[in-house]
């Protein structure tokens, strides 16, 4: 991969949930308030749910609210738990109100002074619209799985982003926490990437993001914003 040329970068594209919004915090809060999941092994539940989600997203398209509910229910059943329809409904409806990370808003304001901003998200239109209103920062493009009927790590989001922004891939930096959904596919396409390593994960030997930081404030500093 060629060295990142920041002088060429005109736009930043972001994954939203897990990168801008505290996905694990929101999901964990729902689990802790859900009677059917009392004393569940949370780490196992989250890992199983993530694997179930990838399988569902690789199949025929269905709305993300269904993907989220089905993947969680399947993961819970592996621990002999059965969330009710009401509990799962509270999960999918509540996601739109999950809070951003503490630094997200201020970092986006700083970044917007220099770059165009876009979101590439594996969610439904209404969920992302509600989240963007909480972020309270304008974006030049918002691209959802519902619009494209496709989920990352498929390449459709990335192709659509270049078309809407009318930029070449060398003029865009993709910012994300998820290696599987974002950093890996973007890297395969030859995009510039910034990995926000919020979970303190180890980087696989075959991945070399252009930038690795712990949060968005650090990203601003690295980009000189």
Return the active site residues.
Answer: 15
Cα separation, 9 vs 116, whole angstroms: 9
Give CA–CA dist 81/66, Å, rounded: 18
Phi then psi for residue 211, to 5 deg, are: -135, 140
- The count of C-alpha atoms lying within 13 angstroms of the C-alpha of 165, restricted to the half-sphere facing its C-beta, is 30
Q: How many helices (H) and strands (E) does the chain have?
A: 10, 6
Asked if the peptide bond before residue 207 counts as cis, ω within 30 degrees of 0, the response is: no
- DSSP at 17: B
CB 77 within 8 A of CB 66: no
Token pair for 202: 């180890």
């Amino acid at each position: 991969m060629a060295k990142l040329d920041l002088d060429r970068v005109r736009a930043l594209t972001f994954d939203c949930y897990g990168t801008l919004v505290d996905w694990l915090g929101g999901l964990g809060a729902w689990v802790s308030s859900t009677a059917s999941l009392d004393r569940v092994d949370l780490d196992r539940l989250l890992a199983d749910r993530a694997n179930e989600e990838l399988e569902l997203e690789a199949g025929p398209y269905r709305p993300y609210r269904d993907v989220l509910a089905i993947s969680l229910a399947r993961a819970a059943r592996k621990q002999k738990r059965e969330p009710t329809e009401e509990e799962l409904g509270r999960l999918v409806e509540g996601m739109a109100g999950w809070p951003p990370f503490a630094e997200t808003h201020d970092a986006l304001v700083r970044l917007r002074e220099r770059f165009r901003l876009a979101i590439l998200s594996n969610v439904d239109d209404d969920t992302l619209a509600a989240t963007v209103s909480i972020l309270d920062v304008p974006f030049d493009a918002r691209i959802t799985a519902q619009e494209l009927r496709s989920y990352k790590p498929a390449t459709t989001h990335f192709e659509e982003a270049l078309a809407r922004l009318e930029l070449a891939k060398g003029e865009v930096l993709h910012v994300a926490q998820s290696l599987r959904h974002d950093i890996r596919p973007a890297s395969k396409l030859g995009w510039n990437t910034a990995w926000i390593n919020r979970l303190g994960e180890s980087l696989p030997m075959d991945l070399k993001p252009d930038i690795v930081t712990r949060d968005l404030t650090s990203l601003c500093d690295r980009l000189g914003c």
